[in-house]
Structure 1
Amino acid sequence: MEKQTYYVSVASGDILNDKTDSPYEFEIEASEDDIKRLQDMFNHKDKADWGTFVLSHIPIVPYHQLDKENDDYDANMYAIYKLIYELGTPETKREMERQGIVF
């Protein structure tokens, strides 16, 4: 499958075709299948984020019992950054390495 250049913002969960559409953090070269996989990860991030937010506001649930939700969120974020690194342009990889985001 042919790869195209995309611009990714992890903070907002955006995957853009045009780098002037919105701020982005990373430039990647990806196929349509890669983009679908990344979008699924962003959707999962949003669900996991919402789950940790809701549970953190329930005063009768001790924080240490939220580990599954926090672990799920962390594992998904790790997978997102790993995929971005794998698909990243050489410049993206260098920047991730400079920032200490290395796999």
Structure 2
Amino acid sequence: MDKKTYYISLAEGNISQVRTANSWDYQIQANDEEITRLRELFDQNYSSDWQGFWRAHIPYIEYHFDRANDAYDTGLQQVYKMIYELGDEETKAHIKNEGLMDDLIE
């Protein structure tokens, strides 16, 4: 399948082929299947984020003991890993320099 250029905004969960449509953080090359998978990861993270929001109203469970937070954190790591794998050299360098993905890449 042919790969196309996409621009990703991690905070907003946006995936766009138009460079100037939104602010973006990362540039990737992906085919339709890969973009579908990335969209699914963003959607899962969005759902986990809402679950965490509602759970936050129950203050007796600390963050690191709450399994809902594990789902969000794991989902975010999967998003970063996929963006890293599909990213251009600048994207890969930026993610690598952040040091958050050391255990998941290369």
TM-score by length of 1: 0.91
For the aligned residue pairs, the C-alpha RMSD in angstroms reads 1.5
Once the two structures are superposed, residues 3-49 of structure 1 have per-residue CA deviations (whole angstroms, 9 ceiling, x without a partner) of 00000011000001011000010000000000000000000011000
Amino acid at match of 1:63: E
Determine if contact 2:7/2:16 at 8 Å carries over to the other structure. yes
Q: Does 1:22 align with 2:53?
A: no
Task: Please state how far the C-alpha of 1:98 moved relative to its aligned partner.
Answer: 1.9
Residue number in structure 1 paired with 2:90: 91
What is the total number of aligned residue pairs between the two structures? 102
Q: Which runs of 5+ in 1 are unaligned?
A: none
Once the two structures are superposed, residues 46-98 of structure 1 have per-residue CA deviations (whole angstroms, 9 ceiling, x without a partner) of 10000011011124x43368521000100000000000000001111112122
Residue number in structure 2 paired with 1:74: 73
C-alpha distance in 2 between matches for 1:33 and 1:64: 34
Distance 1:71 1:22, change over 3 A: same
- Aligned ranges 1:1-103 → 2 under 5 Å: 1-59=1-59, 61-63=60-62, 67-102=66-101, 103=105
Determine if contact 1:56/1:63 at 8 Å carries over to the other structure. no
Amino acid at match of 2:15: I
Q: Secondary structure of the equivalent of 1:15?
A: strand
TM-score by length of 2: 0.89
Distance 1:65 1:17, change over 3 A: closer
Q: Which runs of 5+ in 2 are unaligned?
A: none
